[in-house]
């Protein structure tokens, strides 16, 4: 019987509607029936998980037969993906094969990776960590964590690093949206996507600037294209004509790195035509007058066209479309964030949306698409060098708050740190290379970094590859914890460049971690919804889940008890032996008990699991539950928003529904509404920073602006006695962020008010280097007149523990006329088939087959001038002296002055294939040149974000 | 009985290749064989680029036709 005949006879429909329980029947017809299916005794289960390849958060149902992942289906009822997957999502099941994964711990011995036991690995590594810690300081180690860890693991790692005694830890958010987080939080309160992918269905116009969602967030296009079919006008602004641009009504090509001139050019027409929302600005925005002055004086149509190459008529059309089709939304990604002035670019985007009154409105918003599947969560509660979980910062009060929650003595934690280092931000993942290589007297810590953990991070996503190789050579200890440690492994094992040497005492270890399909836990999608992943399969090979490894390291380093005071400990078998495993649910409960600032308190494991079972009850347009009781727990989802998007304030008992759209005054706080945060004082230069009278969230007992709540303010208002006696005991002397009872938040919200106050958003961020966003040309700009007109800033002597250069580098570019030798702008970005550094996705045959070689997109005229034909090999050369060998994709996607290279490749090094340096059996199928081998110096002036989007290159025919 | 068709809306197709890997995954299709692919016409030409998912049309009795 063939498949079609079977389907005909069985009456089972083809395609989308087949329920998971029937899938085995379909499979039975096409494949040899397995024993399990025949005798009815085999164990067939369906496990629900979330794709690990981007922040959209597509749900997947995995069919597991006797422990083997045999089939996958998109979750048709998920309000987020509605049954859709992209290439990566549809290829997830390969994680159950793992043919090209690291299988067991390995150590680099005489240039080759050799298998060792877990015991040997953990014993040797922890001994060396202790040595470095004692001989130098805890800051001699740097721990690069991961946005691919789930929330619980990311949170545990921040705790773990603190107990080791350093703030030298970071993760992908630094090089992804750190500028967004800082810029946006400083504008209106929280540094996150304000609305949701789904809410974009309500937009009447959408402006994408620096986002190629069709490749980076493919399933988000469901919402956009739905809106478009209902009349939404789509504008895409990008140096490339991307797959996203192909879906636009209006495409605007700008010169890379000129977002501020463009956005302020749009604002010029908005102000000029009186299109701004005057009442909204008056009620809810501080400093728009200053912006208006700057815009009207500096960003006239002529200046805008000169800077970004966009004619006035196009800019005017964008302004008109955004103004006359409100609510209009604005989307940005790495195209805005990865610049030396990224923090200012994202604020220019915020200001445009504030001027139009689009923030806090359904269909409007600053829809900031995050990258990794849990980069939002890892940013919120994970390993950040400048903050404890929940953006609490590193001040003594924050440490005491967490010491209480963790059940450890504050003085003990303090004793783990080198003197005076506990409250000082660590260095960043973008700069670990310099923390190793910089002269010791130039860095702001006792010793250079000598030991490094890559705990779920690719090296080829960071810039300045040649310098990174030198830094890797110099380390004493390099530990890579990853299911796919391959690019780091090969870079470490390959020989040094001529004139450089490898540290004779260096040890390199590779440790096989599991993927997220071999463990359980929560992940936060870009829209701030938390989704729970069930474990799909047991760990493959000798791999071990990350949180189990953290415990194992902690046990050997002597803080195993302190790490897990509040967790139930399981004894679990991995790699043939028993391990101490902190229970994931208990870690989430600890997050619930500590992270009041961002409302990570209401998302208990029970509520999240109920949501996953009850996905069908949530409306895809609003994310709100239409009502329904979870049969397992009896939990009623009525009124909840899917995944309880943070902030979900208060304890779970008060049942805050989560906040679908931030700062939305049309809803009451207990229905997920809100207003802008009072986080910057109540007054500046005689002007109130609080919201104007009458501007507050629906049903608020206080109808004027008000400051954030603490015990004093509560007492003044006469609300203190609304707390219970038990709450009063814990809330005395505390504020809404530190009251462990949740009583302050409960009572404030009961009165319809917002715990963080009610203030104006700031168009002027006076605590940033450029309070009003100022355009500054990239350090390696190819445009000499613009560099002279819009120069970069002065060098910084001590910034995140390191000297950081701006003017010196740009002056060198000008003095040596690098822009003549390297006249083409080099920019980089994503492909739909791959993710991040790409080791994982290039190891997946279903994906790897679709993109087998790295390439540079070059305009036909630029190619012709260089004698380059389509798919020729070419050298892309950069001012660092690096050159990369890639194919030439001759295309009009880019203009003559711009070249684009995807960043997912690694494994070729300036023309040399590194395959022989990979651990045996653990090299990806597809290797290629990493664009970041060639990228240059340059870091954001607030967050140390790396500049990847605007640098320079020359392209030559390969010979 | 109705004959099932695989329909692709070029206004919606973003060349995400989800159909390609879903087919590979479901049918364990070996490397080098593609029963589905996405064709993009006028690639990079402003206002004219369209993508469409197509079957290879090599089977006489195609499982996905």
**A181 alpha carbon, distance to own chain's centre:** 10
Residue B21 and residue A845: Cβ atoms within 8 Å? Answer: no
- Tell whether A905 and A791 lie within a shared domain: yes
Q: What is the pLDDT of residues A762-806, one digit of tens each?
A: 999 999 999 999 999 999 999 999 999 999 999 999 999 999 999
- Domains in chain A, number: 3
Q: What's the CA dihedral at A336, A781, A433, A848 to 10 degrees?
A: 60
Q: How far is CA A374 from CA A85, A146, A611, A767, A849, in A?
A: 18, 9, 18, 29, 26
Task: Look at residues A521, A530, A753 and name the one whose alpha carbon lies nearest to residue A623.
Answer: A530
Residue A91 and residue B32: Cβ atoms within 8 Å? Answer: no
Residue B4 and residue A243: Cβ atoms within 8 Å? Answer: no
Q: Is pLDDT at A11 greater than 90 in this prediction?
A: no
Q: State the pLDDT confidence band at A16, using cuts at 50, 70 and 90.
A: very low
Give percent above pLDDT 70 in chain A: 96
User: Any CB–CB contact under 8 A between A84 and chain B?
Assistant: yes
Longest dimension (CA), chain A: 83
What pLDDT does A35 receive?
55
The secondary structure of A4-16, three-state, reads HHHHHHHCCCCCC
- Tell whether A210 and A343 lie within a shared domain: yes
Establish whether the linkage from the previous residue to A647 is cis, with ω within 30° of 0. yes
Q: Name the token pair of A318.
A: 């964008």
A218 contacts on B by Cβ (under 8 Å): 14, 16, 18
Q: State the pLDDT confidence band at B55, using cuts at 50, 70 and 90.
A: confident
Question: Closest-CA residue in chain A for B49?
Answer: A246
Q: State the pLDDT confidence band at A959, using cuts at 50, 70 and 90.
A: confident
CATH number for A255: 3.40.228.10
- Domains in chain B, number: 1
CATH number for A60: 2.20.25.90
- Domain annotation covers residue A486: no
Q: How far is CA A356 from CA A360, A369, A507, A905, A910, in A?
A: 11, 21, 56, 40, 48
Domain residues for B59? 1-65
**pLDDT (average), residues A620-636:** 96
| Predicted model pTM | 0.95
Domain final position from A75, A96, A117: A96
Domain final position from A96, A113, A133: A96
Q: What is the pLDDT of residues A98-109, one digit of tens each?
A: 999 999 999 999
What pLDDT does A718 receive?
97
Domain final position from A315, A344, A368: A368
User: Any CB–CB contact under 8 A between A90 and chain B?
Assistant: yes
Q: Name the token pair of A227.
A: 């809106």
What pLDDT does A36 receive?
52
CB-CB contact of A435 with A448 (8 Å): yes
What pLDDT does A19 receive?
37
* Cβ neighbour number for residue A77 with a 10 Å cutoff: 16
Backbone angles phi, psi at A286, to 5 degrees: -105, 135
Q: What is the pLDDT of residues A340-376, one digit of tens each?
A: 999 999 999 999 999 999 999 999 999 999 999 999 9
ipTM of the complex: 0.93
- Domain annotation covers residue A225: yes
- Domain annotation covers residue A234: yes
User: Any CB–CB contact under 8 A between B54 and chain A?
Assistant: no
Hey, of B14, B24, B25, which one would you mutate to test binding to chain A, going by the most A CBs within 10 A of its CB?
B14
A89 contacts on B by Cβ (under 8 Å): 18
CATH number for B6: 3.30.70.20
Domain residues for A315? 194-368
Distance (Å, rounded) from C-alpha A121 to C-alpha A645? 40
A244 contacts on B by Cβ (under 8 Å): 14
Tokens 């203009």 locate to: A895
Residue A554, classed as helix, strand or coil, is helix
Q: How far is B31 from chain A (nearest CA, A)?
A: 7
A15 contacts on B by Cβ (under 8 Å): 4
Question: Closest-CA residue in chain B for A2?
Answer: B63
What pLDDT does A18 receive?
33
Q: Name the token pair of A349.
A: 């985007």
What pLDDT does B2 receive?
65
In residues, how long is chain A? 959
Distance (Å, rounded) from C-alpha A562 to C-alpha A538? 28
- Domain annotation covers residue A402: no
Q: State the pLDDT confidence band at B65, using cuts at 50, 70 and 90.
A: very low
- Tell whether A88 and A212 lie within a shared domain: no
**A755 alpha carbon, distance to own chain's centre:** 26
Q: How far is CA A346 from CA A34, A295, A911, in A?
A: 55, 16, 37
Residue A90 and residue B61: Cβ atoms within 8 Å? Answer: no
Beta strands in A259-357 (DSSP E): 285-286, 328-332
Per the prediction, chain A carries an average pLDDT of: 95
């Amino acid at each position: 019987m063939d498949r079609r005949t079977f389907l005909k006879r069985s009456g089972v429909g083809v395609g989308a509607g087949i329920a998971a329980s029937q899938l085995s029947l379909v499979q039975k017809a096409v494949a040899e029936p397995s024993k399990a299916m025949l005798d009815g005794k085999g164990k067939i289960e369906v496990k629900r998980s979330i794709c690990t390849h981007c922040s959209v958060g597509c749900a997947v149902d995995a069919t597991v037969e006797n422990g083997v992942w045999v089939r996958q289906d998109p979750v048709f009822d998920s309000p987020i993906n509605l049954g859709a997957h992209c290439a990566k999502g549809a290829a997830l099941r390969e994680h159950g094969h793992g043919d090209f994964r690291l299988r067991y711990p390995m150590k680099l011995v005489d240039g080759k990776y050799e298998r060792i036991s877990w015991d040997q690995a953990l014993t040797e590594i922890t001994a060396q960590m202790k040595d470095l810690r004692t001989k130098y300081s805890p800051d001699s180690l740097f721990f690069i964590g991961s946005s691919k860890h789930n929330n619980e693991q990311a949170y545990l790692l921040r705790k773990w690093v603190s107990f080791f005694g350093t703030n030298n830890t970071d993760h992908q958010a630094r090089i992804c949206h750190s500028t967004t987080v800082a810029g946006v939080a400083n504008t209106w309160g929280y540094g996150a996507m304000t609305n949701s992918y789904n809410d974009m269905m309500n937009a009447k116009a959408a402006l994408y600037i620096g986002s190629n969602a069709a490749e980076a967030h493919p399933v988000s296009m469901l919402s956009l294209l739905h809106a478009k079919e209902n009349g939404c006008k789509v504008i895409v602004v990008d140096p490339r004509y991307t797959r996203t641009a192909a879906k636009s009504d209006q495409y605007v090509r700008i010169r890379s790195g000129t977002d501020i001139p463009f956005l302020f050019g749009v604002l010029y027409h908005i102000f000029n035509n009186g299109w701004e929302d005057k009442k909204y600005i008056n009620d809810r925005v501080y400093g728009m007058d200053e912006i208006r002055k700057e815009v009207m004086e500096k960003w006239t149509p002529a200046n805008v066209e000169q800077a970004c190459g966009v004619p006035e008529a196009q800019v005017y059309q964008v302004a008109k479309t955004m103004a006359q089709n409100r609510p209009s939304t604005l989307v940005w990604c790495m195209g805005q964030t990865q610049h030396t002035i990224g923090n200012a670019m994202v604020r220019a985007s915020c200001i445009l949306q504030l001027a139009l009154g689009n923030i806090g409105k359904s269909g409007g918003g600053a829809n900031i698409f995050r990258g990794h599947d849990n980069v939002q969560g890892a940013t919120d509660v994970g390993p950040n060098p400048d903050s404890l979980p929940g953006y609490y910062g590193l001040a003594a009060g924050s440490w005491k708050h967490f010491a209480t929650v963790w059940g450890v003595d504050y003085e003990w934690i303090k004793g783990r740190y080198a003197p005076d280092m506990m409250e000082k931000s660590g260095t960043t993942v973008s700069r670990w290379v310099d923390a190793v290589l910089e002269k010791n007297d130039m860095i702001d810590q006792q010793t250079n970094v000598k030991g490094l953990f890559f705990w779920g991070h690719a090296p080829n996503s960071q810039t300045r590859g040649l310098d990174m190789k030198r830094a890797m050579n110099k380390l004493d200890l390099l530990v890579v914890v990853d299911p796919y440690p391959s690019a780091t492994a090969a870079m470490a094992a390959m020989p040094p460049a001529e004139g450089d040497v490898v540290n004779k005492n260096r040890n390199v270890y590779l440790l096989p971690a599991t993927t997220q399909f071999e463990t359980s836990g929560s992940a936060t999608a870009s829209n701030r919804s938390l989704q729970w992943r069930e474990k799909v399969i047991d760990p493959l090979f000798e791999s071990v889940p990350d949180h189990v490894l953290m415990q194992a390291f902690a046990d050997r380093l002597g803080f195993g008890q302190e790490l897990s005071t509040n967790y139930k400990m399981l004894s679990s078998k991995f790699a043939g032996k028993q391990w101490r495993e902190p229970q994931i649910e208990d870690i989430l409960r600890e997050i619930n008990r500590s992270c009041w600032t961002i409302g990570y308190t209401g998302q208990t494991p029970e509520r999240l699991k109920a949501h996953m079972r009850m996905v069908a009850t949530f409306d895809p347009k609003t994310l709100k539950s239409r009502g329904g009781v979870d049969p397992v727990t009896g939990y009623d989802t009525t009124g909840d928003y899917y995944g309880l998007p943070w902030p979900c304030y208060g304890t779970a008992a008060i049942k805050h529904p989560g906040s679908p759209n931030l700062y939305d005054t049309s809803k009451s706080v207990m229905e997920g509404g809100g207003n802008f945060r009072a986080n910057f004082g109540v007054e500046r230069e005689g002007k109130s920073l609080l919201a104007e009278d009458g501007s507050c969230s629906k049903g608020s007992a206080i109808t004027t602006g008000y400051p954030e709540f603490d015990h004093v303010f509560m007492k003044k208002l006469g609300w203190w006695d609304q707390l219970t006696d038990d709450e009063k005991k814990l809330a005395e002397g505390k504020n809404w962020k530190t009251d462990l009872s949740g009583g302050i938040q409960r009572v404030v919200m009961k009165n319809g008010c917002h715990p963080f106050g009610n203030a104006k958003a700031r168009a002027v961020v006076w605590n940033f280097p450029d309070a009003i966003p100022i355009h500054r040309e990239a350090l390696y700009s190819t445009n000499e007149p613009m560099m002279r007109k819009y120069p970069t800033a002065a060098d910084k002597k001590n910034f995140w523990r390191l000297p950081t250069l701006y003017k010196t580098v740009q002056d060198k570019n000008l003095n040596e006329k690098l822009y003549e030798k390297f006249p083409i702008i080099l920019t980089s970005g994503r492909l739909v088939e791959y993710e991040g550094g790409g080791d994982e996705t290039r190891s997946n045959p279903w994906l790897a087959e679709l993109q087998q070689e790295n390439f540079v997109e070059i305009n036909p005229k630029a190619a012709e001038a260089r004698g380059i034909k389509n798919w020729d090999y070419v050298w892309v050369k950069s001012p660092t002296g690096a050159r990369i060998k890639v194919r030439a994709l001759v295309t009009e996607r880019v203009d003559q002055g711009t070249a684009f290279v995807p960043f997912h490749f690694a494994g070729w090094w300036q023309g040399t294939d590194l395959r022989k340096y990979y651990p045996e059996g653990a090299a990806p199928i597809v290797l290629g040149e990493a664009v970041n081998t060639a990228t240059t110096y340059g870091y954001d002036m607030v967050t140390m974000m790396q500049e990847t989007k605007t640098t320079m290159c020359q392209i030559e025919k390969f010979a | 009985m109705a004959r099932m068709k695989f329909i692709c809306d070029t206004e919606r197709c973003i060349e995400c290749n989800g159909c390609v890997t879903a087919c590979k995954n479901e049918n364990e299709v070996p490397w080098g064989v593609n029963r589905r692919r996405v064709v993009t016409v006028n690639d990079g030409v402003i206002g004219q680029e369209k993508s469409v998912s197509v079957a290879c049309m090599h089977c006489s009795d195609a499982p996905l036709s």
